Amino acid sequence: MLKTLGTILKDNWEWRGRIANLSLFELRKKSRGAVLSWAWFFIRPAMYIFCFWFALEIGLRAGNANPDAPPYFLWLCAGLIPWFFMQDSINNGCDVLHRYPYLVNKIKFPLSAISSIYEGAQMIIELFLMVALFVIYFACGMGLDIYLLQVPILLLLMYVFWVMFSICFSQLSAISKDVANLIKALGTPIFWLSGVIFNVNDIPIPWLQTILNYNPVTFFTRAFRNAFYDKVWFWEDTSVLVGFVVVFVVQLLLMVVVYKKFNEEVADVL
């Protein structure tokens, strides 16, 4: 087990330069064929945020009742912007090996690094969106404080977690398309049964809260909101932290088991 984990870490470390370069290539490829190439990375999230803001604050009047609290719009953005990264990880990150068949069976390339490349490309977009989030943050009249220091830690943690997710499920998806379809189908429930657009703690049923806290998306959106909005350290919010630690460990073990069993077989079946 430890040896397999060591291999994954070693591969990713040794190929880090290439992973970074290929992440940029992935972005270049994605932006290809559109005049507004790079702008689309931001137009889509902007539309998304506008629609949710309109539906929730104007339509459903879900905004905060307390006029002294920071604007609801900031609360919404602090959850939705991390979600964009996770959304792409769920939809595409779970099946990256089919995206790069030439890296799997034409050239010798560590398969775990392919996940790092894809997630790396998404993380570059996410970093730009984070800049936008900071602009919104300051525009809302918030000031610099020590709680913002957890943002880079959370971004790193988010990257690591979703790379593990991608390594694990990409290999399974290469063996059977059913896995990719299952994960994609789960994308919708993962979003709606997480705390992205509502606060899990407001649900009056405790056992339901506990279940939702095991959703890793709940952890990340809550943690980013703690940094930007509620001003709490993410490790102080134990209700959701416990669930995440459990999910993280399970994901790590699952990745190692899957990698050990399938890594050498994937090139034969893809």
Partner 1 sequence: MSSKDKIEVAPSLSDTKDLHKTSSSGEVAIRFDNVVKTFNLYKNDRGRLLGIFNYKTRGAFLGSVNANDGLSFEIKKGEAVAFLGHNGAGKSTALKLITGVAYPSSGTVEVNGRVSALLELQAGFDQQLTGRENIGLRGQILGMSKAEIAELEPKVIEFAELGLYIDQPMKSYSSGMKARLGFAFAVAIEPEILVVDEVLAVGDRAFHRKCIDRIREIMMDENVTVLFVTHSNNTAKEFCSRGIVLDKGKMVFDGSIEDATKFYEENY
Q: Which of 2, 3, 32, 206 binds partner 1 (CB under 8 A)?
A: 32
Burial of 254 (0-12, 13-18, 19+ CB in 10 A): middle
Q: Give which of 189, 170, 154 is closest to 116, Cα–Cα.
A: 170
- 64 lines the binding site for partner 1 (CB under 8 A): no
Neighbours of 220 (CB within 10 A): 27
CB closer to partner 1 out of 241 and 267: 267
CB closer to partner 1 out of 64 and 176: 176
- 269 lines the binding site for partner 1 (CB under 8 A): yes
- 29 lines the binding site for partner 1 (CB under 8 A): yes
Could you tell me how many residues of this chain bind partner 1 (CB under 8 A)? Answer: 28
Scan residues 154-183 and list those touching partner 1 (CB under 8 A). 172, 175-178
CB closer to partner 1 out of 105 and 210: 105
The Cα angle at residue 177 between residues 172 and 181, in degrees rounded to 5? 100
Residues 200 and 240 sit within 8 Å (Cβ to Cβ): yes
CA distances from residue 31 to 35, 36, 42 in whole angstroms, order as listed: 9, 8, 12
CB closer to partner 1 out of 11 and 230: 11
Q: Which of 43, 47, 106, 238 binds partner 1 (CB under 8 A)?
A: 106
- 50: tokens are 């506008």
Burial of 99 (0-12, 13-18, 19+ CB in 10 A): middle
CB closer to partner 1 out of 28 and 44: 28
- 108 lines the binding site for partner 1 (CB under 8 A): yes
- 22 lines the binding site for partner 1 (CB under 8 A): yes
> CA 247, CA 217: separation in Å to the nearest integer?
11
> CA 60, CA 262: separation in Å to the nearest integer?
48
- 16 lines the binding site for partner 1 (CB under 8 A): no
- 33 lines the binding site for partner 1 (CB under 8 A): yes
- 10 lines the binding site for partner 1 (CB under 8 A): no
Which residues form the interface with partner 1 (CB under 8 A)?
A: 15, 17-18, 21-22, 25, 28-29, 32-33, 101-109, 172, 175-178, 264, 267-269
